[in-house]
Amino acid sequence: MHFSKVALFALTGLAVAHPGAHDHSSYTKVTKRDFLQNARRSLDQCADHLERRGINSRAEARRAALLNANKKRAIFPRDTDKVVNTSHHSTLKVTSNTPETDLFSQNPTCILSPEGEVGPFWVKGELIRNDVRDGQAGIPIIIDGQFIDINTCEPIQDLYWDVWNCNSTGVYSGVQSDMNGNGNDATNLDKTFLRGIQKTDSDGVAQFKSLFPGHYSGRATHIHVIAHTNAHVLPNNTLTGGHISHIGQLFFDQDLITKVESTYPYNTSTVAITENGDDHVVQVETEDSNSDPFFEYAYLGDSIEDGLLAWITMGVNVSASHDSDASYAARLTASGGVSSGSSNSF
Ligand SMILES: *[C@@H]1O[C@H](CO)[C@@H](O)[C@H](O)[C@H]1NC(C)=O
Ligand SMILES: *[C@@H]1O[C@H](CO)[C@@H](O)[C@H](O)[C@H]1NC(C)=O
Ligand SMILES: *[C@@H]1O[C@H](CO)[C@@H](O)[C@H](O)[C@H]1NC(C)=O
Ligand SMILES: *[C@@H]1O[C@H](CO)[C@@H](O)[C@H](O)[C@H]1NC(C)=O
Ligand SMILES: *[C@@H]1O[C@H](CO)[C@@H](O)[C@H](O)[C@H]1NC(C)=O
Over residues 181-230, the pLDDT tens digits come to 999 999 999 999 999 999 999 988 899 999 999 999 999 999 999 999 99
Mean pLDDT over residues 251-278, rounded? 94
Mean pLDDT over residues 165-185, rounded? 96
Q: How many CB atoms lie within 10 A of CB 280?
A: 16
Give 291 Cα–ligand 4 centroid separation in angstroms: 18
Atom of ligand 4 nearest to the CA of 114: 14
Query: Is residue 346's pLDDT more than 70?
Result: no
For 6-17+25-336, give the CATH class. Answer: mainly beta
CA dist 196 and 215 (Å) reads: 19
CA dist 81 and 78 (Å) reads: 6
What is the pLDDT, as a whole number, of residue 255?
87
Over residues 238-262, the pLDDT tens digits come to 999 999 999 999 999 888 999 999 9
Ligand 4 pocket, 317 CB below 6 A? yes
Which of 169, 266, 267, 268, when mutated, tests ligand 3's pocket best, judged by the most ligand atoms within 8 Å of its CB? 267
What is the pLDDT, as a whole number, of residue 305?
94
* pTM of the entire predicted model: 0.79
Ligand number with the minimum distance to the CA of 305: 3
Give 168 Cα–ligand 2 centroid separation in angstroms: 8
CB burial of residue 337 (10 Å; 0-12, 13-18, 19+) = buried
CA dist 222 and 282 (Å) reads: 10
Q: Nearest residue CA, atom 13 of ligand 4? A: 39
* Domain spans of the chain, in order of start: 6-17+25-336
Closest CA to 190 of 248, 235, 237, 126: 126
